[in-house]
Amino acid sequence: MAKPKTTYVCQNCGAIAPRWAGRCDACGQWNTIVEENPEQPLAAGVQLPKGKSRKLQPLAGESAPPPRIATGISELDRVTGGGFVPGSALLIGGDPGIGKSTLMLQVLATLANAGRRAVYVSGEEGLDQIRLRAQRLGVLDAPLLLASETNVSDIVATLRRERPEVVVIDSLQTLWTPVVESAPGTVSQLRAGAEAMVRLAKKTGAVTLLIGHVTKEGQIAGPRVVEHMVDAVLYFEGDRGHQYRILRAVKNRFGATDEIGVFEMRGHGLVEVPNPSQLFMGDAGREVAGAAVFAGVEGQRPLLVELQALAVPTTFATPRRAVVGWDAGRLAMVLAVLEARAGVRLGQHDVYLNVAGGMRVREPAADLAAAAALVSSLSGRPLPAGTVVFGEVALSGRVRAAPLTEQRLREAAKLGFSLALVAEDSQLPENPGLKVERVADVTALAARLLRE
Ligand code: TYD
Ligand code: MG
């Protein structure tokens, strides 16, 4: 038999390279390729063992909804779609230091206090550190069991004996399987560890919460290869300089994926923010050139967010574009459309775009607000006081209606806004509660903002 060849695996994206290289061809990251032992492939020509023929089932049929373990933390229950499903495995991703361990310890303590059997396995911190955190969170008396362990075999043996209903593994990157001959934190180790934990979840019915660190670029280092194994992927995001944290479901086999939960990081842990619609408004209220309030929707909830743009004449050969909280590609598109369709020239300007409060905006409907902020910054004229903006901008320059127009308008009216700039073909409710102006395209938007 040929001796197994070693493979080279990118620790960022999981791509396999034929030889070592300084830069991964697949994702472009530097210094991420590591030599690993290959998993046993199915050799060519090997026959699969003969299988049994199975009876097929009709699609129609009664099926009860899955049982749920509600956590009592309503922002988390909202994101999971009503609580954890027994036997499911969830990946909790986020930057180091964002608050994953804090959130998970709070969740486990709440469940333990409600009489659930809960186990916290940490390979990142010792028992003393976990106790210190629990003390800070005021949950030191919760009947919660701890282990400081990284060896997957030991963890599995322990959990099989203890039979918890909920277990946290902190973190995937520290798991270590003795039969895999790569260092902890490599893709092979991560995959093997996650596989063992997911299998155990299905077998014992324990809700298994796997914490995974994300790289700066927003990818879970390595465990992107884990995303397909788990039932749900929740990202914990936010800016460490701000106190707000957002838990976002990017995959959920048991619920919607567009819901977010909002928390505030305080001195004694994370606190729920049940009504977040005005958290991300920045200086709204003061009239500043370059600021536009976007009436957004996250999941079922309207959320008003301020977009801030700054355009200054450049001193560089290639003007700078920097964006925080929004997609850089989208900014480039809006800039190009403004220039080509409305004659708003920003080619000689550095452009900065920031979403207030550390929020990340993903809706295409934010285009029009970004365009308004850019036009306002360039012209030095603030938007009319009390204005919200939403609509998607097409490459033709046309503004397209956003879904859930009524919810956006109602929330804006509720928060005291008096004017909304929306797409021409928006479906307006009978009585929106504020003045609504339709803009057909970016030219009309620019004209509207430069009027008066
Ligand atoms: P942590 O949960 O350790 O982050 P992660 O597990 O995602 O790496 O959170 C660490 C940060 O949160 C740390 O910088 C301190 C801050 N923090 C608070 O502000 N208040 C608290 O009550 C706790 C426990 C942490
Ligand atoms: Mg941690």
What DSSP string runs through 364-406? GGGHHHHHHHHHHHHHT-PPPTTEEE--EEPTTSBEEPPTTHH
pLDDT tens figures, 180-224: 888 887 888 888 999 999 999 999 999 999 999 876 555 555 556
Among candidate residues 325, 348, 446, the one with its CA nearest the CA of residue 397: 446
Task: Identify the residue whose C-alpha is closest to ligand 1 atom 13.
Answer: 97
Residues 216 and 139 in one domain: yes
Q: End of a domain among 228, 255, 274?
A: 274
Q: Could you say which DSSP state residue 153 is in?
A: H
- Mark whether 198 and 233 lie in a shared domain: yes
Is 81 in the same domain as 211?
yes
- Nearest 5°: the CA angle 362, 363, 366 is 105
Tokens of 126: 């010792």
How far is Cα 341 from Cα 276, in angstroms, rounded to an integer?
Answer: 36
Spatial CA neighbour of 189 closest among 166, 171, 164, 208: 171
Ligand 1, atom 22: nearest CA belongs to which residue? 269
Residue 260 and residue 132 share a domain: yes
Is the alpha carbon torsion for 250, 256, 258, 264 positive or negative? negative
Write out the residue range of the structural domain in which residue 350 sits: 278-450
CB 117 within 8 A of CB 163: yes
CA–CA dist 195, 230 (Å, integer) = 9
Say what the pLDDT of residue 368 is.
Answer: 98
User: Does one domain contain both 249 and 306?
Assistant: no
In a domain, 56, yes or no: no
Residues within 5 A (CB) of ion ligand 2: 101
Same domain, 168 and 265: yes
The residue contributing the CA closest to ligand 1 atom 1 is 99
Is residue 368 one of the residues assigned to a domain?
yes
CATH number for the domain that contains residue 165: 3.40.50.300
The pLDDT value given to residue 358: 83
Q: Which of 91, 98, 102, 220 to mutate to test the pocket of ligand 1 (most atoms within 8 A of CB)?
A: 102
Centre of ligand 2 from the C-alpha of residue 433, in Å: 45
Ligand 1 atom at minimum distance from 98 CA: 7
206 belongs to a structural domain? yes
Q: Let me know whether 424 and 362 are in one domain.
A: yes
Secondary structure class of 324 (helix, strand, coil): strand
User: Counting ligands in written order, which one lies closest to the CA of residue 171?
Assistant: 2
DSSP E strand stretches across 12-81: 16-17, 33-36
Residue ending a domain, choose from 243, 258, 274? 274
Asked, for residue 28, whether it belongs to a domain, the answer is: yes
Q: Looking at the CA of 236, name the nearest ligand.
A: 1
Alpha helices (H) in 163-276, listed in sequence order: 187-204
Would you state the pLDDT for residue 4? 58
Nearest ligand to residue 98 Cα: 1
Which H or E run contains 251? strand 244-252
Together in a domain, 29 and 130: no
Q: Does residue 404 sit within a domain? A: yes
Residue 262 has what pLDDT?
92
Give the distance, in angstroms, between the CA of residue 186 and the centroid of all CA atoms in the same chain. 23
Asked if residue 64 belongs to a domain, the reply is no
93 Cβ contact partners less than 8 Å away, ≥ 6 residues apart: 100, 211, 212, 213, 214, 220, 223, 233, 234, 235, 236
Judge if 288 and 258 occupy the same domain.
Answer: no
Long-range contacts of 47-52 (CB under 8 A, 24+ apart): none
When divided into structural domains, the chain yields a total of 3
Q: From first to last of its 452 residues, what are the pLDDT tens digits of the chain?
A: 555 567 888 877 778 888 888 888 887 878 878 887 765 556 667 788 889 999 998 888 888 888 999 998 999 999 999 999 999 999 999 888 999 999 999 999 999 999 999 999 999 999 999 999 999 999 999 999 999 999 999 999 999 999 999 999 999 999 999 888 888 878 888 889 999 999 999 999 999 999 998 765 555 555 567 888 999 999 998 888 888 999 999 899 998 888 889 999 999 999 999 888 877 877 656 788 999 999 999 888 899 999 999 999 999 999 999 999 999 999 999 999 999 999 999 999 999 999 988 888 999 999 999 999 999 999 999 999 899 999 999 999 999 999 999 999 999 999 899 999 999 999 999 888 999 999 999 999 999 999 86
Domain with residue 446: its CATH number is 3.30.230.10
Q: What share of the chain is helix, strand, coil (3-state, %, to 5)?
A: 25, 30, 45
Helix (H) or strand (E) holding 161: helix 152-162
Residues 123, 19 share a domain? no
271 in Cβ contact with 243 (< 8 Å): no
Strands of 33-144, DSSP E? 33-36, 89-94, 118-122
Flag whether 61 is in a domain: no
Looking at the fold, whether 121 and 208 belong to one and the same domain comes out as yes
Structural tokens at position 393? 């901008």
Is 315 part of any domain?
yes
Last residue of a domain, one of 257, 274, 291: 274
CB 392 within 8 A of CB 367: yes
Binding pocket residue ranges, ligand 1, CB within 6 Å? 94, 96-102, 133, 136-137, 265, 267-269
Asked whether residue 435 falls in the same domain as residue 291, the answer is yes
Residue 4 main-chain phi, psi, to 5 deg: -60, 130
What ligand 1 atom has the least distance to the C-alpha of 268?
22
